[in-house]
Amino acid sequence: MKKKNRFMIIVFLTPALIMFFAIFIYPIIRTLIMSAYNVPHVTADVSTWTFVGIDNFKKLLSVNLFRTSLWNLLRIWLFGGLGVMSIALLFAVIINSGIRFRSFFKAVIYMPNIVSAVALATMWLQYVFNNRFGLFTTFFQKVGWETMANIAWLSPEMKFTSLLIAYSFGMVGYHMLIFSSGIERIPKEMYEASTIDGASKPRQFTTITWPLIKGVLKTNIIMWSISSVGFFVWSQLFSTVTADQQTITPMVYLYLQTFGAGNTITERNAGLGAAVGVLLTIFVVVVFIVTNFVIKNDDLEY
């Protein structure tokens, strides 16, 4: 590129790179190396490590529980992602379509994202999903919808779905804001011009909105992938003391291997934990690369 740009690029990138190196490089390299060893605990001295090569990875992929956690993660990422993105996009489009009270709607939809997960989870568990006097049960009873009213939301068969619903609810607002800030940049004149030309709302969406929000869609996909991969607190809240088949995720498995189980003293291998970390990181990077490849940024003028 042009010479004058080079100086700018260096100046602009240096502070960020310095922070990155100071904070991340040592832990990342350490994690990478740990994944090839049996490590008694995360900060154990190197002399206590025993080399195992790729055994940690082999073990992980052969353990039923870890495979279950991967399967849970995949379903959260795919189904949760599709659900949340669609709803968030829908809301963002509606909000920017000229309705009144925009700020009110945005604020209310975003609010759950700010409330502590502990309170939200407790609310879902003890109020919404409760099988005796919970919100869903009483609502469906009042409406007379027997099958829905009889669902035991927290029993082993339904727990995963309930967890996904609860988590997705809180995430919609966050992703809606991101979509919204992408749509807001599209000048209103474009919509008005096309309305004058006789385009319907759906048509406007496909020809104007969609191409122009590909950028924020990418951002949303990346952010969703990262938060899915780090899915931990909600799992813990939905299954205290001991983990659940229905709610376990790779992060929970990592935690179990790194810190041991809840109350029993179990064998720990932080190397296994590190291996899980490596797998998760690879997943995120792959998603990033593929997304960038599939959704190209067009240099659009507006």
Partner 1 sequence: MKSITRGKNKSRMKARFNLQKEIRLIPGYAILIFWVVFTFIVLGWVLAASFSTTRDIFTGEAFKFSTGLHFENYEKAWNAQNVSVFFTNSLFYSTISTFLLIVIAAPAAYALSRFKFIANKFIQSGLVAAMGVPVVMIILPLFSLVAGLNILSNDLFIRVLMIFLYTGINVPFAIIFLLSFFANLSHHYEEAAGIDGCSPIKTFWKIMLPLAQPGIITLSVFCFINIWNEYFLSLIFASGNTVKPVAVGLYSMIQSMKYTGDWAGMFASVIIVFLPTFVLYIALHKRIISSITGGGVKG
Partner 2 sequence: MKKLLSVIALMLVCVFLFAACGDSTQTTSDPVKTEDKKTEATDAPAVEEAKTIVYWSMWEPTEKQGIVIQKAVDAYMADTGNVVDVQFKGRTGQREGLQPALDGGMVIDLFDEDVDRVNGTWSAYLMDLEALSAANDYEATGNDALIAASRDAAGGTLMSIPYQPFVFAFAYNKDIFTEAGVTSSPKTWDEFLDACAKIKAAGYAPLTCDDAYMTAWYGYALARFVGQDGVTDVVTNGKWAEEPAVLKMAQQYEELATLGYISENLPSNVWPMGQNGEFALGEVGMYINGTWLPNEVNAIAGPDFKWGFFNYPAVPDGVDGVEAANFGAQCLAINKDSLVSEEAFEIIKYITKGEFDTMLANESMGIPVDSANAEWPVQLAEAKVVFENLTKRYSWAANAEANVDMTPLLKENFIKLCAGQMTAQEFVDAMEAGS
Write out the binding residues for partner 2, residues 166-225 only, by CB under 8 A.
Answer: none
In the list 246, 254, 271, 278, the residue contacting partner 2 (rule: CB under 8 A) is 246
Q: Is 125 in the site for partner 2 (CB under 8 A)?
A: yes
SS3 230: coil
Q: How far is it, in rounded angstroms, from Cα 64 to Cα 78?
A: 21
In DSSP notation, 155-201 reads STTTHHHHHHHHHHHHHHHHHHHHHHHHHTTS-HHHHHHHHHTT--H
Which residue in 84, 166, 183 sits closest to 123, CA to CA?
166
Q: Is 43 in the site for partner 1 (CB under 8 A)?
A: yes
Q: Is 230 in the site for partner 2 (CB under 8 A)?
A: no
Mind spelling out the 3-state secondary structure of 240-286?
A: CCCCCCCCCCHHHHHHHHHHCCCCCCCCCCHHHHHHHHHHHHHHHHH
* 215 vs 260 by CB, closer to partner 2: 260
Name the residue with tokens 């968030």. Answer: 88
SS3 9: helix
Tally of residues, the chain: 302
Q: Which residues, including other chains, have CB under 8 Å from residue 59's CB and lie 6 or more apart? A: 272
Q: How far is it, in rounded angstroms, from Cα 164 to Cα 171?
A: 11
Q: How far is it, in rounded angstroms, from Cα 158 to Cα 149?
A: 13
Are the C-beta atoms of residues 246 and 166 closer than 8 Å to each other?
no
Are the C-beta atoms of residues 241 and 263 closer than 8 Å to each other?
yes
User: How many residues lie near partner 1 (CB under 8 A)?
Assistant: 103
Q: Is 4 in the site for partner 2 (CB under 8 A)?
A: no
Q: How far is it, in rounded angstroms, from Cα 117 to Cα 171?
A: 11
Q: Which does 242 bind (CB under 5 to 8 A by kind): partner 2, partner 1, none?
A: partner 2
In the list 33, 44, 123, 165, the residue contacting partner 2 (rule: CB under 8 A) is 44
In the list 40, 83, 215, 260, the residue contacting partner 1 (rule: CB under 8 A) is 215
Q: Is 1 in the site for partner 1 (CB under 8 A)?
A: yes
In the list 46, 78, 155, 185, the residue contacting partner 1 (rule: CB under 8 A) is 185
Q: Which does 263 bind (CB under 5 to 8 A by kind): partner 1, partner 2, none?
A: partner 2
Closest distance to partner 1 from the beta carbon of 130 (Å): 7
In the list 226, 239, 260, 261, the residue contacting partner 1 (rule: CB under 8 A) is 226
Closest distance to partner 1 from the beta carbon of 128 (Å): 6
Q: Is 153 in the site for partner 2 (CB under 8 A)?
A: yes
* 157 vs 170 by CB, closer to partner 1: 170
Q: Is 103 in the site for partner 2 (CB under 8 A)?
A: no
In the list 229, 243, 256, 272, the residue contacting partner 1 (rule: CB under 8 A) is 229
Find the binding residues for partner 1 in span 103-132 (CB under 8 A): 103, 105-112, 114-116, 118-120, 122-124, 126-128, 130, 132
In the list 70, 243, 248, 254, the residue contacting partner 1 (rule: CB under 8 A) is 254
Q: Is 5 in the site for partner 2 (CB under 8 A)?
A: no
Which residue in 255, 208, 209, 235 sits closest to 73, CA to CA?
235
User: Contact residues for partner 2 (CB under 8 A)?
Assistant: 11-12, 14-15, 18-19, 22, 41-45, 63-66, 68, 125-126, 129-132, 152-156, 238-246, 248, 256-257, 259-268
